[in-house]
Amino acid sequence: MGEKILTINVKLDQIFNVEGSSGKATMILFHGDCDCDNFKGVILPGGVDTQKEPAGEPRVLSARYILEGKDCDGKDCHIFIENNGEVQPVSNGGVIHTKPLIYTDSEALKWMERADIAGTVTGAEGGVTIDFYVNE
């Protein structure tokens, strides 16, 4: 992976599960913050990670949230992130690799909408840490 561009500290609020005959689903509500060179701000209310696991298939996730704060130029902005990935077994190190979709109203960060970005999700106390990198 290339240069790290964002680190988001996620704190879990509520977890809801359902297990049906055809699969399982989990919805995880969360909040958090980001304090990086590119962006400083918070996750707005409504952040949710939707995970589903059809019977006999891998568990996949799709987290969606909006960050509100200041970009690298100190200007107010928002960043929408849809982060998609496949949950790996703990035996694989427990790191989840993701592919984000990003929209932003920041002129300074609009390059993120077109960049080839990859993410990782790792466990942290009370939640997870999400790191985004520009692929080289």
Instruction: Kindly report the CATH number that applies to the domain delimited by 4-134.
Output: 2.40.160.20
Note down pLDDT in tens along the chain; length 136 residues. Answer: 789 999 999 999 999 999 999 999 999 999 999 999 999 999 999 999 999 999 999 999 999 999 999 999 999 999 999 999 988 765 556 788 999 999 999 999 999 999 999 999 998 999 999 999 999 7
Amino acid in position 85? G
If DSSP codes are grouped into helix, strand and coil, which group holds residue 86? strand
Q: What is the pTM of this model?
A: 0.93
Contacts of 42 (CB under 8 A, 6+ apart): 31, 32, 33, 34, 67, 68, 69
Amino acid in position 32? G
Amino acid in position 91? S
